[in-house]
């Protein structure tokens, strides 16, 4: 081990930074102590309970975590265990950032542990879900409103369909569309926005079940005409059942949130629609102690079509109640997916050289893709290019030496496994971050729900949690 430099003073104690024999940087002093303490806690969990990180049989989505079947959600208990471990080794931790927030799994786990939370997502439905999950609702009030909605629906004898969009009749039977319209009118009549938002989520989950799109895939995929005619659907009853169970879950959620506020009355929550590739102006930027996130596993078009999955519910929900909703996001079924990570393929190969210089794992994968269809290379590069741009935008939102937990899945494209875990690690190391540990887990029950399988893309049934420490402020590289 050769000495690299004598660096900063932290908490009154001088830290010495070293370059290890394998080229990694390491520190002595309090920073290294907390890093080592976390690594050993994480390892111990698996030593004491083999397959601990798989959370097999321990991943039930309880409390607000179960209010909507958003695709590729994280395991709440797993992220909760990671937060507890980081809080144990670093009691100064008080805030968490999730730039790819999805349904807000990390939000609820953070807030219930007394941590402030900042989250973003490009998909407004995700932000609506997270917003509802961040509210401590009064279950009695919700039960009362649910009864009022049931009465309004019974009294509504109109057969007018409340929404109009391309292919509406392909995705909804007329009787279903009439009942959804009654529900839409009944929810809209509720005075309080936050309460309407809770019922919009129940309506979204109802739509997932009663539309003509199969629930077995997250892509829009219609039942056959014969199946559509013969399906037994009671839309109103489905909604009332879902909203009743949702109220129970929101009751547990309110308790979890109030525990968090008891631990830290000053905690703040912010869930907004934003693109993780864009750095917000400094005045809108909070710096978090922890990054806990799970970016998509690949471009949304071929892996998980979050946008398509949200397209039908978003057609029915009043856009004024959906944070960040804009009409152009519903122009077609691909609009949200095309503004998501890896959604824009044009010009992506121009970034290949730069990415090769930052990531040996990327360079190796690109070599393996030589001779395969050009589209496979373009997709892989576009996705990594966007991840790289996101990292540039994410790091300024973190404190010096922030803790980072990246839950990452890998996929095969044209038969070649894209080593996303090594690529993200490389992209972070090139900016001065340090590797702490990689936790591998099997996904119980197989791969997360993906777009329909196709010949060119295959997703794995394992995922990894890449644990890193962010760059030290003095060392922040530009990444180039």
| Nearest distance in Å: CB 263, ligand SAM | 22
| d(C-alpha 65, C-alpha 79), whole Å | 12
What's the closest the beta carbon of residue 107 comes to ligand SAM, in angstroms? 9
Cβ contacts of 157-165, under 8 Å, gap ≥ 24: 158/182, 158/185, 162/316, 163/315, 163/316, 165/315, 165/330
State the Cα–Cα distance between residues 52 and 45, nearest whole angstrom: 6
User: Which is nearer to ligand SAM, 17 or 208 (by Cβ)?
Assistant: 208
State the CB neighbour count (10 A cutoff) for residue 83.
22
Minimum CB–partner distance for residue 401 and ligand SAM (Å) = 24
Using only C-alpha atoms, the chain has a radius of gyration, in whole angstroms, of 23
Nearer to ligand SAM, 213 or 308 (CB): 308
Minimum Å gap between C-beta 273 and ligand SAM is 9
- Chain residues in the site for ligand SAM (CB under 6 A): 70, 72-74, 99-100, 102-103, 105, 120-123, 126, 275-277, 294-296, 306, 340-341
Residue 365 vs 450, nearer CB to ligand SAM = 450
CB closer to ligand SAM out of 172 and 200: 200
3-state DSSP assignment of residue 180: helix
The whole-angstrom separation of Cα 25 and Cα 111 is 33
Closest CB 463 distance from ligand SAM, rounded Å: 10
β-pairing verdict for 13-19 and 25-27: antiparallel
Residue 55's DSSP bridge partners are none
Q: Of 207, 162, 169, nearest to 185 (Cα)?
A: 162
Tell me which residue has its CB nearest to ligand SAM.
Answer: 102
CA distance 289 to 274: 20
Spatial separation of the C-alpha atoms in residues 139 and 142, rounded to whole Å:
5
The percent helix, strand, coil of the chain (3-state, each to 5) is 50, 20, 35
Nearer to ligand SAM, 181 or 294 (CB): 294
Burial class (CB in 10 A: 0-12, 13-18, 19+), 226: exposed
Nearest distance in Å: CB 449, ligand SAM: 11
* Min separation Cβ 247 and ligand SAM, Å: 21
The residues pairing with 434 across neighbouring beta strands, listed in sequence order, are: 469
**Pairing between β-strand 95-98 and β-strand 434-442 as defined by DSSP bridges:** unpaired
Q: How far apart are CA 453 and CA 445, in angstroms?
A: 16
Least distance to ligand SAM, CB of residue 169, Å = 28
Q: Give the residue with the Cβ less far from ligand SAM, 296 or 470.
A: 296
Smallest gap from Cβ 256 to ligand SAM, in A, equals: 16
Q: Which is nearer to ligand SAM, 109 or 179 (CB)?
A: 109
Task: Tell me the C-alpha distance between 184 and 172, whole Å.
Answer: 15
For residues 300 and 413, give the distance between their C-alpha atoms in angstroms, rounded to a whole number.
13
**Cβ proximity to ligand SAM, 145 vs 290, nearer residue:** 290
Report the nearest approach of ligand SAM to the CB of residue 116 (Å).
Answer: 18
Under 8 Å CB-to-CB from 413, ≥6 apart: which residues? 298, 302, 369, 376, 379, 380, 456, 457
């Amino acid at each position: 081990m050769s000495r690299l430099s004598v660096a900063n003073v932290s908490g009154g104690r001088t830290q010495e930074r070293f370059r290890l024999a394998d080229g990694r940087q390491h520190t002595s002093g309090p920073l290294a102590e907390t890093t080592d303490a976390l690594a050993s806690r994480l390892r111990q969990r698996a030593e004491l309970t083999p397959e601990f990180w798989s959370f097999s049989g321990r991943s039930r989505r309880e409390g607000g975590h179960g209010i909507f079947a958003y695709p590729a959600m994280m395991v709440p208990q797993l992220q909760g265990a990671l937060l507890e471990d980081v809080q144990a080794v670093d009691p100064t931790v008080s805030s968490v950032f999730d730039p790819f927030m999805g349904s807000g799994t990390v939000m609820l786990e953070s807030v219930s542990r007394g941590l402030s939370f900042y989250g973003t997502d490009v998909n407004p439905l995700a932000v609506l879900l997270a917003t509802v999950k961040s509210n401590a609702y009064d279950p009695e009030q919700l039960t009362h409103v649910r009864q009022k909605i049931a009465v309004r629906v019974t009294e509504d004898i109109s057969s007018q369909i409340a929404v109009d969009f391309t292919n509406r009749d392909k995705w909804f039977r007329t009787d279903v569309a009439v009942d959804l319209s009654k529900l839409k009118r009944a929810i809209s009549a509720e005075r309080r926005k936050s309460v309407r938002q809770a019922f919009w989520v129940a309506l979204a989950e109802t739509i997932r079940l009663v539309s003509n799109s199969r629930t077995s895939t997250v892509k829009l995929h219609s039942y056959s005409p014969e199946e559509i005619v013969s399906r037994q659907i009671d839309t109103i009853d489905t909604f009332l059942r879902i909203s009743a169970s949702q109220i129970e879950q929101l009751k547990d959620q309110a308790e979890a949130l109030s525990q968090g506020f008891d631990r830290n009355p000053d905690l703040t929550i912010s869930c907004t629609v934003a693109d993780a590739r864009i750095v917000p102006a400094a005045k809108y930027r909070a710096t978090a102690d922890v990054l806990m996130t799970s970016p998509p596993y690949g471009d949304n078009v071929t892996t998980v079509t979050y946008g398509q999955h949200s397209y039908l519910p978003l057609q029915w929900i009043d856009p004024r109640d959906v944070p960040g909703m804009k009409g152009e996001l519903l122009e077609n079924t691909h609009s949200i997916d095309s503004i998501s990570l890896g959604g824009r393929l044009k010009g992506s190969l121009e970034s290949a050289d730069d990415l090769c210089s930052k990531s040996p794992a990327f360079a190796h994968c690109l070599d393996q893709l030589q001779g395969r269809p050009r589209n496979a290379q373009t997709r892989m590069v576009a996705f990594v290019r966007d991840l790289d741009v996101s990292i540039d935008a994410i790091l300024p939102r973190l404190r010096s030496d922030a803790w980072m937990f990246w839950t990452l899945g890998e996929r095969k494209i044209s038969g070649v496994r894209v080593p996303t875990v090594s690529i993200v690690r490389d992209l972070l190391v090139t900016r001065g971050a340090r590797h702490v540990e990689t936790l591998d887990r099997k996904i119980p029950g197989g791969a997360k729900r993906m777009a329909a399988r196709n010949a060119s893309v295959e997703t794995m049934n394992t995922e990894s949690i890449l644990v890193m420490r962010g760059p030290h402020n003095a060392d922040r590289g530009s990444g180039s």
